Amino acid sequence: MTTGARLLWALLAAVAVVTVGVAPASQSAPAPQLGRNIKVGVVDTYSGPPAVFGNDALNGFRLAVNEINREGVLGARIEFVTRDERFSPEIGLSVARELVLQERVDVLVGTINSATALAISAFARDQRLPFIVWISKSEAITGARGHRYVFSTGENTAMAGKALAEAMARRPYSRFWLAAEDYEYGHAITNSFWRFMKRIKPEVILQGQTWWRTGEPDLVPYLTAIASARPEAVFFGTGGAGMTNVLRAMKTTGFSDRIPSMIHTAIDHAVLRPLGAGAPEGVMGTIDYLFYHPDTPANRAFVQAFQTAYGGPPGFPAFHAYNTAYFIAQAYRKAGALDREKFIDALEGLRIDSPVGRIEMRACDHQVVLPLFLGVTRRSPRFPDFLVATDIQTIRGEDVMPTCDDIRRARGQ
């Protein structure tokens, strides 16, 4: 073979290597496939008065799952099974065990009850299984008792307490009364508010405290006694059905007409709408979702889809659960496998688009960073049948989150 021939054959061989070794620009490597569906276990309250929140969350989660499954997640779908914990930490832990050990779920989500969330969180840590809390608000969940396997897609009591404390610190009140329900959330939100209040405005005075048992049907005597002490302002640490009873008692006694009052989630339409004319005006509240605010294309689309599917507007539980489904889908897409540790690594620091804008799962504590909305209950011509939040102010999540150093200190690290 001549030298020229040898050069020609070498050139042809080189071209062949390039042709075989590099895919054409019009093709791409196949996406990784999960191999089976993603199985999610939902533990929440579906009986009794708190079921209004559990059902709202389930509808939000179902709406998002239906949207996600149209495209799928790396060739898989999200499927889920539910269990009713009946607002009991003991039952909640029992059904969580069943979902993990018998149903073999990949992720646990849910809970209204903070005590239930903490019990399941400890179990999830032992099982090394991801658990995403979507309603329970005790700051201990992602704070002092947080760990690698627990996450929260809703605001917590540290964030809400600081937001309300900053709002009240700007007002000319110095003598406060704390009135709260004697359970995990009641203590967590009340302690948070007062801790930040003392930090922001050291001269404030705690005039007195009132605590009542969960499920107390008649709160009028408690409010009457507080009013007789004439505090300048009152913070109420209660939520859900307990908050409904407080608001009803406020209306009956005219309490909020005489004494400035604040309750986290007092501006929640899921509470105000059923109360109708029985809700009091002038109560300050905070929340991280309102179906009528912000008035943006993303929020309008979410509200429209939810109303079409379920016949009414979404509440904050639906918002949290809707976001939870998208965090799950995006984390598995990023992880590329049905692997618990890879899923957690992918979820840390993950950002998604939500009805209120871009939100982030903070890596250092697994607490979602999202805005809070501060408002006061008033009548509005736009919604004649129930009170809504007015004078709405947006508070950035970054401004009320504990720092990562705070979290490390709380966890004893």
pLDDT band at 241 (very low <50, low <70, confident <90, very high): confident
Q: Are residues 99 and 207 in the same domain?
A: no
Q: Are residues 96 and 47 in the same domain?
A: yes
Q: Percentage of residues in the chain with pLDDT exceeding 90?
A: 90
Q: Are residues 219 and 302 in the same domain?
A: no
| Residue 9 reports pLDDT greater than 50 | no
| Residue 239 reports pLDDT greater than 70 | yes
> Looking at residues 165-181, what average pLDDT do you find?
96
pLDDT band at 23 (very low <50, low <70, confident <90, very high): very low
* Residue 71 within any structural domain of the chain: yes
- Rg of the chain taking only CA atoms, in angstroms: 25
Q: Are residues 350 and 239 in the same domain?
A: no
pLDDT band at 231 (very low <50, low <70, confident <90, very high): very high
| Residue 187 reports pLDDT greater than 50 | yes
Nearest to 284 by CA among 395, 369, 188: 395
| Residue 21 reports pLDDT greater than 60 | no
* Residue 191 within any structural domain of the chain: yes
Tokens for 128? 């090394």
pLDDT at 4: 45
Nearest to 85 by CA among 74, 75, 93, 76: 93
| Residue 169 reports pLDDT greater than 80 | yes
Q: Are residues 335 and 234 in the same domain?
A: no
The 10s digit of each residue's pLDDT in 400-410 is 999 999 999 99
Q: Are residues 218 and 320 in the same domain?
A: no
* Residue 9 within any structural domain of the chain: no
pLDDT at 186: 96
pLDDT at 240: 86
Q: Are residues 202 and 274 in the same domain?
A: yes
Distance CA 21, CA 10 (A): 16
pLDDT at 16: 37
CATH number of the domain bearing residue 255: 3.40.50.2300
Range of the domain at 235: 158-287+372-400
* Residue 21 within any structural domain of the chain: no
* Residue 30 within any structural domain of the chain: no
> Looking at residues 141-153, what average pLDDT do you find?
98
pLDDT band at 5 (very low <50, low <70, confident <90, very high): very low
> What's the start-to-end Cα distance of the chain, in Å?
74
* Residue 17 within any structural domain of the chain: no
Q: Are residues 200 and 149 in the same domain?
A: no
| Residue 24 reports pLDDT greater than 80 | no
| Residue 358 reports pLDDT greater than 50 | yes
The 10s digit of each residue's pLDDT in 191-215 is 999 999 999 999 999 999 999 999 8
- Output the CA angle 400-60-397, nearest 5 degrees: 10
| Residue 18 reports pLDDT greater than 50 | no
Q: Are residues 127 and 174 in the same domain?
A: no
Q: Are residues 262 and 394 in the same domain?
A: yes
The 10s digit of each residue's pLDDT in 322-335 is 999 999 999 999 99
* Residue 309 within any structural domain of the chain: yes
| Residue 379 reports pLDDT greater than 90 | yes
pLDDT at 31: 59
Q: Are residues 60 and 189 in the same domain?
A: no
| Residue 2 reports pLDDT greater than 60 | no
Count of structural domains, the chain:
2
pLDDT at 13: 40
> Looking at residues 12-18, what average pLDDT do you find?
37
pLDDT at 49: 87
> Which of 193-197, 295-299, 409-413 is predicted with the least confidence, judged by mean pLDDT?
409-413
* Residue 181 within any structural domain of the chain: yes
pLDDT band at 6 (very low <50, low <70, confident <90, very high): very low
| Residue 101 reports pLDDT greater than 90 | yes
Q: Are residues 377 and 362 in the same domain?
A: no
The 10s digit of each residue's pLDDT in 33-87 is 899 999 999 999 999 988 999 999 999 999 999 999 999 999 999 999 999 999 9
Which residue carries 């995403």 as its tokens? 132
